[in-house]
Amino acid sequence: MERQISGFICKKYTIIVMTLIFMLMALISFISICLDVDKYAQITHEKNPEISPNEAKTATMAIGVVIFIISLTFSSIGLFGAIKENYCLSITYSLLWLIELINSLVKTIASPIHSLGLIINLIIFAVLILFIIDLRQKRQTSQSPSPSLSPPPPLTTTTTATTAANNDSNTTTTNSSIIKTV
């Protein structure tokens, strides 16, 4: 049992650390977009001259904010699911990670240079699935009542009813014997 607990804790903290790393990477990406927004706006303006640099700058910032919020939400679900050992959040995070895994697979098929990202996503997905299996087992064992903790059957009520029935039959027998003797 001790080995299962330590394995569960290892998976839990692996997910927490990896999720924190992804949150940090999202923050760094957002900051780099904010710092280089003029460069991205200029590139967009050169490719599409009908878009002004200010519009391109606004669009780049808006896209950066949306991607950052989605990444932060995605990572928060996994982080809170692992910290609180919440089954529903962990399942949701694994489904979102499956979408990321499929995205990584498509990128790897298109360009084999992304194969390292696919391998990392596969490892993380495997740890997530193993964590969810352990979490489900832990949840099932905590919900099933222990046989030693179940209350004993109510013997006093049955005993009292039996005693009362025996007393009634003794009284009837005694009354019958009194009537016969007289």
Question: Would 166 be classed as within a structural domain?
Answer: no
Question: Would 42 be classed as within a structural domain?
Answer: yes
Question: Would 179 be classed as within a structural domain?
Answer: no
What pLDDT, on a 0 to 100 scale, did the predictor assign at position 105?
A: 93
- Indicate if the pLDDT at residue 39 is higher than 70: yes
What average pLDDT score do residues 95-100 get? 94
Q: Tell me the torsion sign for CA atoms 19, 24, 25, 27.
A: positive
Confidence of residue 89 (pLDDT cuts 50, 70, 90): very high
What average pLDDT score do residues 31-37 get? 89
What average pLDDT score do residues 56-61 get? 88
**SS3 label, residue 167:** helix
Question: Would 167 be classed as within a structural domain?
Answer: no
Specify the amino acid at residue 172: T
Vertex 45 angle, CA 42 and 49, to 5°: 150
Question: Would 172 be classed as within a structural domain?
Answer: no
Question: Would 73 be classed as within a structural domain?
Answer: yes
Domain limits for position 114: 2-142
Question: Would 109 be classed as within a structural domain?
Answer: yes
Spatial neighbors of 176 by CB under 8 A, at least 6 apart, are: none
- Taking the C-alpha atoms of residue 117 and residue 29, their distance in angstroms, rounded to an integer, is 17
What average pLDDT score do residues 102-116 get? 92
Residue with tokens 């903790």: 149
Please provide the distance, in angstroms rounded to a whole number, between the alpha carbons at the two ends of the chain. Answer: 77
- Indicate if the pLDDT at residue 177 is higher than 50: no
Specify the number of domains making up the chain. 1
